[in-house]
Amino acid sequence: MKNETYYEMLPETCTVNGVVLHRIRATRNNAHVPAGTVGGFIESWHNLIGDAWIADDACVYGGASVACGALVYENAQIYDHAAIWSDAKIHGNAKIHGNAQVFGDAEIFGDAEVFDDAVVEWNARVYGHSLVHGKSRVMGFAQVYDNAELCSYNKWYWAVTFTDLCGNDKKIIAEDFTEKNTEEIDETEEIEDDEDEE
């Protein structure tokens, strides 16, 4: 939906992956910038809603959306059906695409990339040249950085740090939970309870 009280599209355009995008300008003050501020690029009105903002040369296009106070800036790109909202920040040369979701106070920057059905939320940070994809879910105060890659299915990473050691790509995992692991933990607790009763 066109939101003329929020921002407008300017005549200036750029083409990214064959898609023509329009530079935006704020028509009123919002959470990030005052009225009159020139922002980044979008393909259509649904790419930017809910008092969020796209700044610098950042680009949002396709079915992607930036909403609810989120901020995308520098040279970041959001596309496909990715969704960024709830005060999340995407910047640097970061790319969010596929059906990925980033929200809460999460921050993605550097040359990091989040895609497929991955979710990054709360206070998590993804940066460096790291990749988060598959159905990985990064949350809490987790940090994914350097050249780390998370490609998991139905796995949640809580307060996890991935890093390189001695120049090699290695992963230090504080905790990781899958549905299977949760079931195993429950079964172990039941066995221990039975032993205590005996």
Please give the backbone phi and psi of residue 45, each rounded to the nearest 5 degrees, phi first: -60, -30
* H/E element, 184: helix 179-197
**Sign of the CA dihedral with 70 first, then 76, 77, and 81 last:** negative
> In this predicted model, what pLDDT tens digit does every residue of 21-34 receive, in sequence order?
999 999 999 889 99
The Cα-based distances of 122 to 58, 60, 99, 146, 158 in angstroms read 23, 22, 18, 20, 10
Q: Which residue has the tokens 């922002």?
A: 39
Nearest to 4 by CA among 43, 41, 48: 48
Q: Kindly list the domain boundaries of the chain, sorted by start residue.
A: 1-104, 105-198
31-69 pLDDT, tens digit per residue, is 899 999 999 999 999 999 988 999 999 999 999 999 999
Q: What is the pTM of this model?
A: 0.80
Most confident of 46-50, 137-141, 194-198: 46-50
Q: What tokens appear for 119 in the block?
A: 């979710």
Cβ 119 vs Cβ 100: under 8 Å = yes
What value does the CA radius of gyration of the chain take, rounded to a whole number of Å? 20
Question: 151-193 pLDDT, tens per residue?
Answer: 876 455 554 454 443 344 444 443 344 443 333 323 333 334 4
Sheet holding 101-102, edge to edge: 65-66, 83-84, 101-102, 119-120, 137-139, 155-158, 176-178
